[in-house]
Amino acid sequence: MRAPHRDPRLVLLVGAGGAAGTLLRWAVSEVVPAADGFPLATLAVNVVGSFVLGLLLERLSRRGPETPAALRWRLGVGTGFCGGLTTWSSFAVEVDRLTSTGSVGTAAGYVLVSLAAGLLAVVAGIALAARRAR
Amino acid sequence: MILLLTLAGGLGAAARFVLDGAVRTRWPSRFPWGILLVNVLGSLVLGFLTGLVLNGADPQWRLVLGVGFCGGFTTFSTAMTDTVRLARDGSVRLGLLNLLGTLGATVTAAAFGLGLAVLL
């Protein structure tokens, strides 16, 4: 079997998931305004995407060795959709913009909340997958 | 424009998958070098595009290439799950290194991109 990233069908599957995630991320950014310069939209998609990815990867890994169907779920929904929904580039640029416009406190708060909530979301997703598996 | 943005996001995600896979194959490691590289590159490009728009360039470029491609290319969720996975496997240090290393490298890369666009 060739490596998944060299299989055109799987690359297309990741692309389709990524397109859907990107569209949803853009829609969220259109309806969620920044609160006092705090980038709420990016925070929201990053935390939700981290939760879904943590849940998905844990559920799939608890099923034992990866089947072709599980691989498609992991790549389409995980690598594609969750990867496209969440973004690190916007996060990094927002931190830079906040810092350079003098909102250093907001930038520091944004970094702390994003990383803490992102990690907690993954842990919560894993815990939910573990509960459902029992 | 929304269609282009969506397509660019799909292209970005596919590019991340291929690049990360190539890095993993060539340099197998427990540390997620491929995703770190993706996040640094994407932050650099988005910083550059943001700088161009601050300088008066058409914001639609940033929407398609930045929000679309760079957004689909870079990932926050994978960086978080990789950090938790490393910590769970007993490498809390590697997990922290991934988290703080990604933060430092990407914010620096984005600032570099912003500065470069302002200089041009």
The predicted model gives A17-39 an average pLDDT of 93
What pLDDT does residue A132 have?
75
Q: With 80 as the cut, is the pLDDT of residue B6 above it?
A: yes
Find, in chain A, the residue whose alpha carbon is nearest to that of B99. A115
Q: Which residues of A are annotated as a binding site?
A: 83, 86
- Could you identify the residue written with the tokens 């950090």? B83
The predicted model gives B42-67 an average pLDDT of 95
Distance CA B13, CA B20 (A): 10
Domain spans, chain B? 2-119
Tell me which chain B residues have a C-beta less than 8 angstroms from the C-beta of A30: none
Find, in chain B, the residue whose alpha carbon is nearest to that of A108. B103
* Angle separating helix axes A104-133 and A89-100, nearest 10 degrees: 150
Other CB atoms within 10 A of residue A61 CB: 15
Query: Which of B76, B89, B99 has the most A C-beta neighbours within 10 Å, making it the best mutation to test the interface with A?
Result: B76
Find, in chain B, the residue whose alpha carbon is nearest to that of A57. B81
Name the percent of chain B lying above pLDDT 70: 100
**If pLDDT is split at 50, 70 and 90, which confidence band does B120 have?**
confident
**If pLDDT is split at 50, 70 and 90, which confidence band does B71 have?**
very high
The token pair at A21 is 């995630």
The predicted model gives B95-112 an average pLDDT of 98
ipTM associated with this complex:
0.96
The closest CB to that of B83, out of A82, A89, A119, belongs to A119
Query: Which of B36, B40, B69, B77 has the most A C-beta neighbours within 10 Å, making it the best mutation to test the interface with A?
Result: B77
What pLDDT does residue B18 have?
98
8 Å CB contact between A18 and B9: yes
8 Å CB contact between B37 and B101: no
Distance CA A119, CA A54 (A): 9
What pLDDT does residue A33 have?
83
Q: With 90 as the cut, is the pLDDT of residue B116 above it?
A: yes
Tell me which chain B residues have a C-beta less than 8 angstroms from the C-beta of A108: none
The string of DSSP letters for A40-109 reads: HHHHHHHHHHHHHHHHHHHHHHTT-SPPHHHHHHIIIIIIIIIHHHS-SHHHHHHHHHHHHTT-HHHHHH
> Taking all residues of chain B, what is their mean pLDDT, rounded to a whole number?
96
**If pLDDT is split at 50, 70 and 90, which confidence band does A1 have?**
low
Tell me which chain B residues have a C-beta less than 8 angstroms from the C-beta of A84: 9-10, 12-13, 71-72
8 Å CB contact between A106 and B39: no
What pLDDT does residue A35 have?
79
**If pLDDT is split at 50, 70 and 90, which confidence band does A134 have?**
low
Alpha-carbon gap: B24 to the closest alpha carbon of chain A (Å): 10
Q: Which long-range contacts (CB under 8 A, 24 or more apart) does A61-64 make?
A: A62/A129, A62/A130, A62/A133
B110: nearest Cα among B38, B22, B41? B41
Say what the pTM is. Answer: 0.96
Q: With 80 as the cut, is the pLDDT of residue A133 above it?
A: no
- Could you identify the residue written with the tokens 């879904």? A52
8 Å CB contact between A92 and B21: no
What pLDDT does residue A36 have?
79
Tell me which chain A residues have a C-beta less than 8 angstroms from the C-beta of B80: 50, 53-54, 118-119, 121-122
